[in-house]
Amino acid sequence: MMCPLTKGGMTRIVFTSQLQNQQGEKIKNSDDKTVNQLVIKQENINRQCMEIARTNGLLSETVAGPLFDGVADEALYLRTKPKVLWILQEPHDTQHLPQGNWSVPKEVIQKEDYGFGNPTHEAIAKTMYAFRNGISFEKVNKKYQKNDDFRWTVMGALKDIAWINVSKMPCPTRTKAYLPRIEKAYKLYWRSIVIEQVQQIYQPNIIVVAGAHWHFVADDIAEGSLRQLAGYDDQVAHWIDSAGRHFLWVDHPAKPGTKCFDIWVKAIKNCINSK
């Protein structure tokens, strides 16, 4: 399992074989074998990402490695139905130098070091909490603004999803996401990694592609052909592949002016009954 080590004020990731939960205790339940398999698969994909970065000259004095993605709580993800995977563009690491070589799911989500105020994390957490609890995004958002304890509960909704980026290296410091650069990195380095994450490791029921990278990633990760279903006021495009896996194409959660989160919740909910 990935375990954090701190050296010189910077968190680094090392790998161990012991399966542990958030309290550092060995997991003891009937799903041990399946959970352990997912732990190992995540370790292996992280190693592959680091090797790709190393062999292609992506490391430097200021970039120590990729920012690893995936799931925070393997056991919870495997127990949760339906399984939802969010695909974003590229990670940011503005607080560390050198950047990268640590896990966002493990260091931020599992440890509940959310850093309230991150618009991407908060929008996805609120959307998933509303979906899982059968309430509106608006209701979640109003209570979120007023109740500190509730904010922690809502952010915990990130623990049962998979979260990946199509480009694995930290976004250049003080540089905004730039689609041509991201697409180039995806096609040169990360395409096979993303396909493996979706089709072999996480195997979600619902995939939410949040951003304009839909046009170069959707066909890669779909199994067979994609068939478009009804959309939602031009805010969500809904597709289904030959294996029955649902794809939702939405705006990036942090895009200024995005106010359609209740439609996102409805779209995810409707995936359950759509065929």
What average pLDDT is seen over the chain?
85
Report whether 197 contacts 70 (CB < 8 A). yes
The confidence score (pLDDT) of residue 244 equals: 95
CA dihedral 169, 174, 178, 183 (to 10 degrees): -10
- Determine the Cα–Cα distance for residues 239 and 225; give it in Å rounded to an integer: 10
5-14, 73-82, 109-118, 264-273: which has the minimum mean pLDDT?
A: 5-14
Mean pLDDT of 28-54: 89
Query: 113 with 120: CB under 8 angstroms?
Result: no
- Residue pair 241/226 in contact (Cβ under 8 Å)? The answer is yes
**Does the pLDDT of residue 34 top 70, yes or no?**
yes
Cβ partners under 8 Å of residue 84, min gap 6: 128, 161, 162, 204, 205, 206, 207, 208, 268
Residue that has been written with the tokens 């623990």 in this structure:
159
Express as a percent the part of the chain with pLDDT over 90: 69
DSSP assigned state of 170:
P
* Helix H or strand E encompassing 237: strand 237-241
Confidence of residue 257 (pLDDT cuts 50, 70, 90): low
**What would the pLDDT profile of 93-142 be if each residue is shown by its tens digit?**
877 889 999 999 999 899 888 777 788 999 999 999 999 999 999 999 99
Alpha helix (H) ranges present in the chain?
Answer: 32-55, 74-79, 104, 119-133, 137-146, 148-155, 179-185, 191-196, 214-221, 261-271
- When mean pLDDT is compared across 2-16, 117-131, 141-155, 237-251, the lowest value belongs to 2-16
Measured distance CA(155)–CA(187) in Å, rounded: 32
Does residue 210 have a pLDDT over 50? Answer: yes
Predicted pLDDT at 206: 97
Long-range contacts of 44-48 (CB under 8 A, 24+ apart): 45/70, 45/193, 45/196, 45/197, 45/201, 46/2, 46/13, 46/15, 46/70, 46/103, 47/15, 48/193
Confidence of residue 22 (pLDDT cuts 50, 70, 90): very low
Average pLDDT over residues 166-174: 84
175 compared with 269, residue with greater pLDDT: 269
d(CA 121, CA 3): 22
**Residue ranges of domains in the chain, CATH in brackets:** 2-271 (3.40.470)
**Percent of the chain at pLDDT exceeding 70:** 85
